[in-house]
Amino acid sequence: MFTQYFGHYLLNRNLVSLPQLHEALDQLQSTRVKLGVLSVNAGYMSAAQADDINQLQATMDKRFGEIAIDKGLLTEEQLGELLSAQKESHLVLGQALIDQGTLTLEQFQEALEQYKRENYLSDEQFEAIKNGDIDVLVSTLLKLDQTKDNEWYQQYLSLLAKNMIRFIDGQLFMEVNAIPRDYHCDWLVLQRISGQAKLTTGFSMNEQAFLRLASAYAEENIAAPDEMAEASVGEFLNLHNGLFLVTMSNHGVELELSPQEISRDASLPPIKSGLLITVYLSDVSFELVLSVD
Amino acid sequence: MNQDVTIVICDDSVLIRKKLREMLEDLGYERIHEALDGEQAVAIAQEHRPEVVFMDIVMPVKTGIEALREIREELPETKVIMASSVGTQTNLKEAIKLGAYDFVQKPLSAEAIKRVMEKATNRGES
């Protein structure tokens, strides 16, 4: 998930263009991170030293790892460790962007450092995020929007991110926004939670996103917004909320779910305060409505 | 053997009814009836006297917990398996108290359905 966050970060900082980012994300499956990128990321050598080795490599028939060991920049053990880390995905994104010629290795490293500074991340937090810790990522995401209901939001959004990745799409990015006035929904799938707290949860989406989510969750192509599409999106929200209730129950908080309500061309119901979270998948986006009433 | 067992699937989601029916048909069960809410489940159970009922909890009209209570009162031989995403302590305790046979946490997997059906029909390999 960090890959998508970092990709959007590069985009927002104008370090890459949208087509470049899409191309790089598309390449993730087939890209292998080169040892130079991995060595610099692990702190074993500087970007300049890695570039030197790359240049040397062009003049002799030797692998990167062999040259690095010859020059005393890597030990055998470090090389083994790097070879096993070759699939770490934010680095795969970096490699794809470097291969495209969009960024240099130095620029990629600098952007990572900048991301860490701008999000006030400790070394520990940043490591956790890079290693795919969704709880830490969501908590740093929510730091941008301090509310007293943050604890609920944190639990809810962490679990949503995990369920989205598990059932819908591995390429996930979420952005927190306030709910604008006169917000209108093409499709609104709503479910209320009651008990020790009252929450309103829902997905607001256009038809394309509605069908995309429906097809992914049902594991079959759903081409029209029919009964099956409604059932699929509704059931995904119901499943996620059910699992949220189980998590809260394990923490001693008992909650209840009402049946989902699905409507077309709808406005949001009156809610006191809440969040609108834009959820980006690889090809569509939609809004998650979440409020503690 | 499995052909003799009558099953009622009660879930307000057409997707879940379809997926669960497919899983049961793959196991060789043929006598499968569907109900869209708790009230229909009670009526269909009275009519067909099933061996097994799969019961969702969060449903309109009548919840799965209420339907469980009524089916257990009227058809004590019927095994009611709760199949829900909401496996909270409250729901689990309530379901056990009312005599639910088992609880299957959603998302449903073919493996979990196979296991619970083998147990309910005493056809496991134990």
Measure the CA–CA gap between B11 and B64, rounded to whole angstroms: 9
Residue of B nearest to A246 (CA): B88
Of A167, A231, A245, the CB nearest to B13: A231
**CA A159 vs CA A152, A195, A199, A240: distances in Å:** 11, 19, 15, 8
- Pick from A142-146, A173-177, B82-86: least confident: A142-146
Neighbours of B104 (CB within 10 A): 19
Cβ-proximal residues to A30 (8 Å cutoff; 6+ apart), any chain: none
Evaluate if residue A88 carries a pLDDT over 80.
no
Q: Do A239 and B106 touch (CB under 8 A)?
A: yes
Residue of A nearest to B90 (CA): A254
- Pick from A11-25, A262-276, B110-124: least confident: A262-276
Report the gap between the CA of B68 and the closest CA in chain A (Å).
Answer: 17
Coil/strand/helix, residue A291 = strand
H helices present in A119-226, as ranges: 123-130, 134-142, 150-167, 207-218
Evaluate if residue B126 carries a pLDDT over 50.
no
First vs last Cα of chain B: how many Å apart? 18
- Find, among B87, B32, B38, the residue nearest to A238 by Cα: B87
Share of chain A above pLDDT 90, in %: 39
Average pLDDT over residues A83-107: 84
Measure the CA–CA gap between A97 and B72, rounded to whole angstroms: 62
Q: Do A257 and B105 touch (CB under 8 A)?
A: no
Q: Do B85 and A238 touch (CB under 8 A)?
A: yes
Residues of B in contact with A255 (CB under 8 A): 88
Q: Do A258 and B58 touch (CB under 8 A)?
A: yes
Of the CATH numbers 3.40.50.300, 2.60.120.10, 3.30.70.1450, 3.40.1550.10, which one belongs to the domain with range A142-292? 3.40.1550.10
Of B15, B60, B87, the CB nearest to A232: B15
Q: Do B90 and A254 touch (CB under 8 A)?
A: yes
Evaluate if residue A132 carries a pLDDT over 80.
no
Residues of B in contact with A234 (CB under 8 A): 13
| Burial class for A181, CB neighbours closer than 10 Å (0-12, 13-18, 19+) | exposed
Measure the CA–CA gap between A23 and A29, rounded to whole angstroms: 12
Of B15, B85, B89, the CB nearest to A243: B85
Domain extent listing, chain A: 2-135, 142-292
Average pLDDT over residues B4-14: 96
CA B79 to mean position of chain CA atoms: 8
Evaluate if residue B85 carries a pLDDT over 90.
yes
Residues of B in contact with A232 (CB under 8 A): 15
CATH architecture entry for B2-110: 3-Layer(aba) Sandwich (3.40)
Average pLDDT over residues B69-75: 96
Q: Do A246 and B14 touch (CB under 8 A)?
A: no
Cβ–Cβ under 8 Å, residues A97 and A109 = no
User: Residue A104 has what pLDDT?
Assistant: 93
| Average model confidence (pLDDT) across chain B | 93
Report the gap between the CA of A193 and the closest CA in chain B (Å).
Answer: 11
Domain extent listing, chain B: 2-110
Best of B19, B86, B108 to substitute, by most chain A Cβ atoms within 10 angstroms, is B86
Q: How many Cβ contacts (< 8 angstroms) between chains A and B? A: 58
Of A167, A228, A259, the CB nearest to B14: A228
| The one-letter amino acid at A188 | L
CA B54 to mean position of chain CA atoms: 1
| Average model confidence (pLDDT) across chain A | 87
Of A231, A241, A255, the CB nearest to B15: A231
Share of chain A above pLDDT 70, in %: 95
Residues of B in contact with A227 (CB under 8 A): 14
Q: Do B16 and A245 touch (CB under 8 A)?
A: no
- Pick from A119-133, A151-165, A185-199: least confident: A119-133
DSSP string, A11-52: HHTTSS-HHHHHHHHHGGGG----HHHHHHHTTSS-HHHHHH
- Find, among A55, A51, A49, A86, the residue nearest to A71 by Cα: A49
User: Residue A139 has what pLDDT?
Assistant: 79
For B20-45, how does the pLDDT look when each residue is reduced to its tens digit (9 = 90+)? Answer: 999 999 999 999 999 999 999 999 99
For residue B3, the 8-state DSSP code is G
Q: Do A227 and B14 touch (CB under 8 A)?
A: yes
